[in-house]
Structure 1
């Protein structure tokens, strides 16, 4: 079967530490690595998925298996949303690359492209959920209507070819990711492995159906296709639903509690060490990006510090918060007026 997966987030390479003087930390130099890039590995995966999807539609029609046709259609929708995700990733890379050719892009999206990621994920989840629900209803209707007679030879051939593709692609991506260490590639590799497991089960089901032909149990063979389709739908339905839930949380800027607790713990330590009065923390996750605002309430009448001293304190706070600085927008401000922090 084609890949059944949760859509990964597009990679975000923008990092900004906004000071009350709005200064930013420099980006680390990019390193050139040998071997296929992350986008190359994912592009190969997209190409193979398109091929498997086309085979699924053709062999599904030849074998009269709606389960295989659904697999092809699902894979087409899946790869379409993957292409959109990669387009967002390339927009992010182009914006970070700088240069006059990307200046207009940065001017229009000065806050980055994090907000596009959950929008793409929500659209993907809704489309995939609709496809799964339609297929499940069709499977139930077909089961109640007496099933569907299959040409098991074509169905088994498709399952075998798809299983080989799943094994090859998962091995290729796992090997490439030893160097890339990409979350996107890791998710895609797990998706191929999951698809391989499902395809193995389908191959066994079709093989059992083929052996039942010409026996006393042959009257059960028409129920194999709708039964397999219903089982696959039930197994994969939580995946797009989970994608929708996470995307809505990002769109609505729901505060991730683990990140909030981590940021507040660092802020409390800084307040105690520096003799500040209090702090206010505002945390959100948008796609793979983390947006953090920290406002420290400084006592009135403290001896003045140099800007370099405040910058060093900001750098220290950023290091304590941790995480990938390339996927973080961190704002740290100091004020004696509580209203500026509320």
Structure 2
């Protein structure tokens, strides 16, 4: 990872941590005050987001330091490891919140003051949407798995805030109808409905991180691009280049190429030129290329 990307990553993660700390404190205090399961969940989620962001900051800072031989294959593996931890923690929170919401539904619901909760929800929607937009914009400019994971966290927080606000507006409207007695079920019902979506996002993050840690095949787009660029080398070369393996670990793209040649000797200058051409072609992926060329028997 280049120094510029590392500095921008640190700056974005620091901004995210500051924003998360404000939402965490406000959500927890108000949620406990009005007795809302959903607002408490929003506050706990923001607090966990803050802790996970601090973890990302620590890992990002550590990855910029020399490895001193501890990591023989580089520190790229730390990025999917952090994302896996984030996804696991978020999944645990959502699962527990879903259990609490179901329990509340069967124990008579929860009575919440919808007016205060709605005002808080509107403030949260604006703040979280701004944070999501800001970090997602940075994620597009700077290729970083940590920033991308951070953007997904804020996306979930924004959608949560929108759902909370819409739910409390609906609960308030229900109090004005003949079904006012059922308004107490609005809070746990919102939590149940949101949980089905919230489980999917961290599950996808977890699956992607585990695939990288196990060095499995990356996305179809990456495989197709790498394969086509290696095939493009063959018409220009007396040797035949064949893709032997490709995997993505964090921001590192590891490509292994087998060289088949009918000649007893290989031209080193020709191989160096082919290596440079391949590096230039794959630079469009904005990943750190680790290219290995082997002479096949």
TM-score range (shorter-chain normalised) is 0.7 to 0.9
Shift of 1:160: 2.6
CA contact (8 A) 2:25 2:43 kept: yes
Shift of 1:309: 4.0
Shift of 1:198: 3.7
Q: How do 1:40-119 residues align onto structure 2 when only pairs under 5 Å count?
A: 40-95=11-66, 105-119=67-81
Shift of 1:195: 3.6
- Indicate the residue corresponding to 2:260 in structure 1: 297
CA contact (8 A) 2:111 2:183 kept: yes
Q: SS where residue 253 of structure 2 aligns?
A: strand
Distance 1:313 1:277, change over 3 A: closer
Give the whole-Å Cα distance in 2 for the aligned partners of 1:323 and 1:171: 24
Greater CA radius of gyration, 1 or 2?
A: 1
Distance 1:51 1:230, change over 3 A: same
When structure 1 is superposed on structure 2, of 221-230 and 108-117 the one drifting more is 108-117
The answer as to 2:97 corresponding to 1:126 is no
- Indicate the residue corresponding to 2:292 in structure 1: 331
- Indicate the residue corresponding to 1:312 in structure 2: 273
Shift of 1:263: 2.8
- For CA contacts below 8 A with separation 6 or more, give which structure has more relative contact order: 1
After TM superposition, the score normalised by the length of structure 1 is 0.75
Name the Cα RMSD after superposition. 2.9
Q: Which runs of 5+ in 2 are unaligned?
A: none
Q: SS where residue 233 of structure 2 aligns?
A: helix
- Indicate the residue corresponding to 1:6 in structure 2: none
1:145 paired residue among 90, 104, 107:
107
Q: SS where residue 64 of structure 2 aligns?
A: helix
Distance 1:295 1:156, change over 3 A: same
Distance 1:316 1:204, change over 3 A: closer
Give the whole-Å Cα distance in 1 for the aligned partners of 2:18 and 2:29: 17
1:182 paired residue among 133, 136, 142:
142
Q: Which runs of 5+ in 1 are unaligned?
A: 1-11, 14-29, 96-104
After TM superposition, the score normalised by the length of structure 2 is 0.85
More helix per residue: 1 or 2?
A: 2
Give the whole-Å Cα distance in 1 for the aligned partners of 2:105 and 2:259: 64
Give the whole-Å Cα distance in 2 for the aligned partners of 1:163 and 1:264: 44
